Amino acid sequence: MPDKKPHPTSHALRVIISGGGTGGHIFPAVAIANEVRRRQPDAEILFVGANGRMEMTRVPEAGYEIVGLDIAGLQRRLTPQNLLFPIKVMRAVRKAGKLIEKFRPDVVVGVGGYASAPVLLAATSRGIPSLIQEQNSYAGLVNKLLSRRVNKICVAYDGMEKFFPEEKLVLTGNPVRTEIASGNRAEALQFFGLAPDRPVLLVIGGSLGARTLNHATAAALPRLQAAGVQLLWQTGKLYYPEAAQQAAPFATDNLKALEFVQRMDLAYAAANVVVSRAGALSVSELCLTGKPSILVPSPNVAEDHQTKNAMALVRKNAALLVADNEAPAKLYDTALALLQDSTQQQQLTTQVLQLARPAATTTIVNELLKLVSNSSKS
């Protein structure tokens, strides 16, 4: 029988962080790890992700070790992969259990994504304190299933008791890299080679890119050029080759296609207006940076949760919304109008800054350390 208790906490703190799949899961996970390490520099932190997913490269780039599980999600139609799903889950739980017995964590954190479920199932069955972080205003299936087993659930929105046991909830906001809001505009303009006397539009479709935003942006390049607007267009890896070709004739007018933006602090600092999907991380970053934004929720997500994320801002006059199916016709009319309306930009900035939760990461790590402390006393 495996030991039901984590090792004594007189040792360096040991933390497993599991999950991934998109930047919306990975960047909050890294923010939590960075805060743990800031407070306890000798802490040992191990990430567990899904083989073949972007966390397997992004996490090592952030300076952390990661181990991959062979796990993927259920398809929404009957496929041979779905028939193998229970076997893959059992194997992943078994491998996660071996990792846990070898690493002996004091606490396990799940941030959503394929790898969260097997790791948290293995951890909670061994009595290891555990915490999940739900980024969205509509809870993911994995987190809902795990909520009865874990000790704490950190959420970003009010009203999450409709998904989770209320006594476990802590309203924290989403962990966002605090440096995201510290970019200097003069440095940002120089970094991207932009002119200081012309407005800048930042278009971000999430870490994987967004087809609707990319098609609408490509079609709008002549209009942006005519209006004297400069563009930072984050396309995502899949769409970049075509987008780079489309933007090439406009490069001298500072209409730039970028596969991925490493320095998001500078991209936000340069931007007058942001067009974005409404993933939880993007929404939290917009709140923290105070940028006037037009949100175009992805329709390709569970329970339309991006629209729910966006409406949390729109209802408070903190962002504008354009539906995905209306984006080809309306998005750039809306964007150009907002770029020319400094009064509306200021109103959106004022409102969105009121929704920011800059202490989210600190609060989550406080909860994590409380679990470790309470466990060591019991």
In tens, the pLDDT along 79-131 reads: 555 455 567 778 888 999 999 999 999 999 999 877 899 999 999 999 999 99
The verdict on residue 8 lying in a domain is no
Query: Would the annotation count 306 as a binding residue?
Result: yes
Query: Would the annotation count 81 as a binding residue?
Result: no
Query: Would the annotation count 15 as a binding residue?
Result: no
Query: Would the annotation count 284 as a binding residue?
Result: yes
Query: Would the annotation count 181 as a binding residue?
Result: no
Same structural domain, 73 and 115: yes
The verdict on residue 3 lying in a domain is no
What's the rounded Cα separation, in Å, for the pair 307 and 323?
Answer: 9
- The answer, yes or no, to whether residue 262 has pLDDT greater than 60, is yes
Query: Would the annotation count 300 as a binding residue?
Result: no
What's the rounded Cα separation, in Å, for the pair 104 and 14?
Answer: 7
Query: Would the annotation count 136 as a binding residue?
Result: yes
* 193 dihedral zone (left: phi>0; alpha: psi -120 to 50; beta): left
Same structural domain, 264 and 150: no
The closest of 212, 262, 41, 94 to 232, measured between CA atoms, is 262
- What confidence score (pLDDT) does residue 86 get? 64
Query: Would the annotation count 177 as a binding residue?
Result: yes
Same structural domain, 134 and 245: no
pTM above 0.85, yes or no: no
Query: Would the annotation count 104 as a binding residue?
Result: no
Q: Mean pLDDT across the stretch 29-49?
A: 95
| Token representation of residue 41 | 């520099």
Same structural domain, 156 and 230: no
**Structural domains in the chain (count):** 2
Query: Would the annotation count 319 as a binding residue?
Result: no
Query: Would the annotation count 228 as a binding residue?
Result: no
- What confidence score (pLDDT) does residue 9 get? 44
Query: Would the annotation count 281 as a binding residue?
Result: yes
Same structural domain, 124 and 191: no
Dihedral of CA 260/365/33/270: which sign? positive
Q: Mean pLDDT across the stretch 221-238?
A: 96
Tokens 């996660």, residue located: 96
The domain in which residue 287 lies consists of 179-353
**Backbone torsions φ then ψ of 319, nearest 5 degrees:** -165, 160
Same structural domain, 33 and 64: yes
CATH of the domain at 110: 3.40.50.2000
- Each residue of 268-327: pLDDT tens digit? 999 999 999 998 889 999 999 999 999 999 998 777 889 999 999 999 999 999 999 999
Same structural domain, 187 and 114: no
Query: Would the annotation count 282 as a binding residue?
Result: yes
